[in-house]
DNA sequence: GGATGCGGGGAGA
DNA sequence: TCTCCCCGCATCC
């Protein structure tokens, strides 16, 4: 059975009738794996069919169900590493034309030598891109995801949007222009932030259970480091195990030797001292991506501020404080999935986790490995189900079909569901273990 | 300019 | 027939 959110009875997005539910799920921006969710009709993100993943519309010739497929992630052709050991993973443009323009551009990693951006396609659903399905009824918005992403999370949507809106990508000449941009960023933050917050209306669960134990959150939450010098982020109380970053060479086979997620490698490269000259200006005529990504740091405020974030988002004071070093912050932030509930709950897969093996493929598709150097895994969003199924009503493509004999209607067949009921306890143990390893793995950063 | 939604249509199983 | 994908168009921001 696919992972369900609220306690809806079994349903599938393609069912002729879907149940009417009394409880809704917390909106998940980074849903991964076979996931089913039910959101309230007023959930702004759900109404916009928002996702942290770069999802493009796919025509399924069904006007009742909106289908989207994952575009993957933009990565460096050289698979270079950022100063902290993570890799480049940008958000591909949804527009085909824009996406083509993205490809071939120089890698934004200033340490990268000759790398170019290329799309790492998603093949997480039996060799096809992971798909999201959205279905609206009068009383709920149904969401279903099929497949597990086999690639890193791209940067959050807000990053690319603001970057574009600020005209990043063109060469900046002179400090005055840089300062003007910073002022524009600050202005945008002040303008956008309240609005975003007002739209955050769909979370009926103000404090979902944390994925990281409170005792491990404490250090982070009490961190007094400056936003750009913080080195205690995610610091667990457990001593860190030594970690040696597996050197990755572009000459290596890129998609071979996948390590199954059940045995994730210890992760996370040690956080290196970041030597980056913020005053450096581009010297050539091609656009310098680091100029663009300097702008990414403040825009994190442009993302929906998630309730369960483990760390406070940068404040306006942070961005303008005398200690501000946007570039460093960018590097710090970039290696993490930007601005999302799940991402803030779970450290970046790039740092330690693995990408879940593409399971659940009825066709027996054997997934490719994208990051052979380590079994990278990150926990998928797991919202504890709320088993409330009273007042079950069913909708037939928008029609309100009140039903009283629920069991008779639950004979839906799930041929591609990820979990059976019996699997759930095992899965929980599995994800708990993964989560524990993930947390420990993060200690390698510090 | 890009995101998004809709729809036509081709290809393959 | 179903699912996948590509493409064009319209709308909105």
Category of A338 on φ-ψ map: left (φ > 0), alpha (ψ -120 to 50) or beta: beta
The DSSP-derived string for A125-149 is BTTB--EEEEEE-SS-EEEEEES--
A102-106, A134-138, A272-276 — which is least confidently predicted? A272-276
- Main-chain dihedrals φ then ψ at residue A393, nearest 5 degrees: -130, 160
- Strand duo A131-136 + A141-146: pairing: antiparallel
pLDDT at site A426 = 36
Give the span between the Cα atoms of A61 and A84, in whole angstroms: 45
Q: Give me the CA A86–C1' B13 separation in Å, rounded.
A: 40
- Residue nearest C7 (alpha carbon to C1'): A96
A143-152, A188-197, A279-288 — which is least confidently predicted? A279-288
3-state secondary structure A404-417: CCCHHHCCCCCCCC
Closest nucleotide C1' to the C-alpha of A58: C5
Strand partners, A3: A35
Instruction: Report if CB A105 to strand B is under 7 Å.
Output: no
Closest nucleotide C1' to the C-alpha of A169: B1
- Main-chain dihedrals φ then ψ at residue A57, nearest 5 degrees: -70, 135
pLDDT for residue A88 is more than 70: yes
Strand B positions closer than 7 A to protein CB:
1-9
Residues 159-218 of A with CB under 7 A from strand B: 160-161, 164
Q: Give me the CA A379–C1' C11 separation in Å, rounded.
A: 37
Q: Give me the CA A141–C1' B3 separation in Å, rounded.
A: 21
- How confident is the model over A403-425, as pLDDT tens digits? 333 333 333 333 333 333 333 33
Are A106 and A171 within 8 A, CB to CB?
A: no
Instruction: Report if CB A64 to strand B is under 7 Å.
Output: no
């Amino acid at each position: 059975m696919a992972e369900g959110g609220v306690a809806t009875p079994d349903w599938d997005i393609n069912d002729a009738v879907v149940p009417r539910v009394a409880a809704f799920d917390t909106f998940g921006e980074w849903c991964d794996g076979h996931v089913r969710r039910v959101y309230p009709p007023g959930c702004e993100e759900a109404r916009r069919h928002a996702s942290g993943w770069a999802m493009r519309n796919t025509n399924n010739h069904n006007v009742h169900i909106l289908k989207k497929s994952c575009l993957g992630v933009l990565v460096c052709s050289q698979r270079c590493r950022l100063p902290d050991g993570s890799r480049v993973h940008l958000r591909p443009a949804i527009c085909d034309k824009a996406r083509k323009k993205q490809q071939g551009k120089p890698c934004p990693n200033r340490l990268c030598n000759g790398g170019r951006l290329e799309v790492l396609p998603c093949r997480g659903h039996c060799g096809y891109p992971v798909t999201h399905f959205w279905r609206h009824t009068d009383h709920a918005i149904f969401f279903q995801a099929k497949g597990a992403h086999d690639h890193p999370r791209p940067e959050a949507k807000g990053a690319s949007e603001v970057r574009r809106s600020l005209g990043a990508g063109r060469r900046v000449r002179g400090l005055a222009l840089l300062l003007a941009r910073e002022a524009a960023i600050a202005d945008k933050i002040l303008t956008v932030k309240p609005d975003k917050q007002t739209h955050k209306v769909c979370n009926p669960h103000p404090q979902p259970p944390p994925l990281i134990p409170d005792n491990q959150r404490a250090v982070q939450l009490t961190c007094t480091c400056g936003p750009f010098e913080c080195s205690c982020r995610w610091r667990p109380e457990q001593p860190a195990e030594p970690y040696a970053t597996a050197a990755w060479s572009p000459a290596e086979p890129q998609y071979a030797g996948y390590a199954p997620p059940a045995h994730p490698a210890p992760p996370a490269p040690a956080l290196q001292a970041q030597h980056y000259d913020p005053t450096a200006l581009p010297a050539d005529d091609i656009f310098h991506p680091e100029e663009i990504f300097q702008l990414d740091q403040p825009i994190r405020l442009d993302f929906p501020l998630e309730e369960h974030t483990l760390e406070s988002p940068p404040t306006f004071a942070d961005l303008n404080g005398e200690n501000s070093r946007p570039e460093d912050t960018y590097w710090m932030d970039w290696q993490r999935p930007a601005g999302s509930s799940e991402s803030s709950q779970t450290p970046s897969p790039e740092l330690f986790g693995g990408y879940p093996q593409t399971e659940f493929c009825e066709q027996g598709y054997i997934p490719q490995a994208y990051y052979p150097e380590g079994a990278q895994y990150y926990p998928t969003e797991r919202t504890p189900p709320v088993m409330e199924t009273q007042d079950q009503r069913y909708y037939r493509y928008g029609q309100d079909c009140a039903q009283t004999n629920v069991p008779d209607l639950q004979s839906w067949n799930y041929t591609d569901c990820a979990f059976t009921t019996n699997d759930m306890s095992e899965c929980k143990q599995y994800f708990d273990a993964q989560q524990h390893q993930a947390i420990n793995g993060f200690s390698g950063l510090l």
